Amino acid sequence: PSVIQDLSLHKHGLKYLVRDPSSFTPSLVDGPLGGRSLLLGSDMDATCASIAQFSEKDSKVYPLYEEFLAECREILRPLLDGPLPDPFQGRYYERKQAATTLYSLIKNAARHRGTLGALYELLTAPACHVLDKWFESDMLKATLACDAVIGAMISPRDVGSGYVLLHHVLGEAAGKQGVWAYVEGGMGRISDAIASAAKEAGAKLLTNCQVKSIDLDERAGSATGVTLESGESLTARVAVLSNCTAHQTITKLLPENFLDSFAGGGFRSYVRHIKGFDYSCGSFKINCALSKLPDFACLPNGRSRDGEGSGGAQHR
């Protein structure tokens, strides 16, 4: 949330619509579950009551699972708003910031020392292994495992999918930790809000002009501006900031020989890592405008509260 706060994006039109309920998992009316559905949301009592349809044991364990994820989130929180801290590299203020981050990380880890072993397992194990240790209901495990594969080319049985499970509860929206939200007006409203904040600060925005390359001054050891596809050059007074991926910035926008003049041994290792980074993604999303809320046979809108099962992610 630091970027949102620093740029006062809510003042520039950014508005969250918190996703509540967070998920809805229906079942076939004539299937083995008899048309029962699972609804997870912010109301813990209602969530546990929904889980109890499939397992009384899981309904009692689920609040503990949520508490465990919250502790993991607090331990890792100091790492979310910056690079991995290295107090031995960079300028003085960078080393100082790194030391402050490390202190916060160690303090949080000490506060939740009993969770560290389980956190390590969550970061390294398959999500199925983690969920099997917590729950017995396939309906609940399948619903939660969805968060372990969204946006990743892996299955819940792959090593590392446990981290993806945690990744989806690390952030916050509308001041609430671990929740998801939609942006009113669509994702383009985020760009609009950032553009509005930039203009208020005196920025001049150029659109429909693709950057061909980042210009470098080998003597000064710094970026001096950019050259557009049109051939026009723009000079930077202070620095060049790239919002492309690190892979695009390093392999497409910087000269091939920039490492010869600008990078030390540590940075060379970083560049090798970036060049080999895998950006494969299994996401495919379609947004549809509907004339009314969906009506499920297992939970008709007449039986739900205002179509409550239609407001969250739907697992089928």
Place 41 in a pLDDT band, splitting at 50, 70 and 90: very high
- Among the listed ranges 66-70, 117-121, 182-186, 262-266, which one has the minimum average pLDDT value? 262-266
User: 224-232: long-range contacts (C-beta < 8 A, 24 or more apart)?
Assistant: 226/253
Half-sphere exposure of residue 59, counting CA atoms within 13 Å on the CB side?
A: 14
- Using a 10 angstrom Cβ sphere, with 0-12 exposed, 13-18 middle and 19 or more buried, the burial of residue 210 is exposed
- Among the listed ranges 42-56, 84-98, 157-171, 248-262, which one has the minimum average pLDDT value? 248-262
Backbone angles phi, psi at 181, to 5 degrees: -150, 160
pLDDT at 135 over 70: yes
Instruction: Give me the sign of the Cα torsion angle 260, 263, 265, 270.
Output: negative
Judge if pTM exceeds 0.85: no
> Mean of the per-residue pLDDT values for the chain?
87
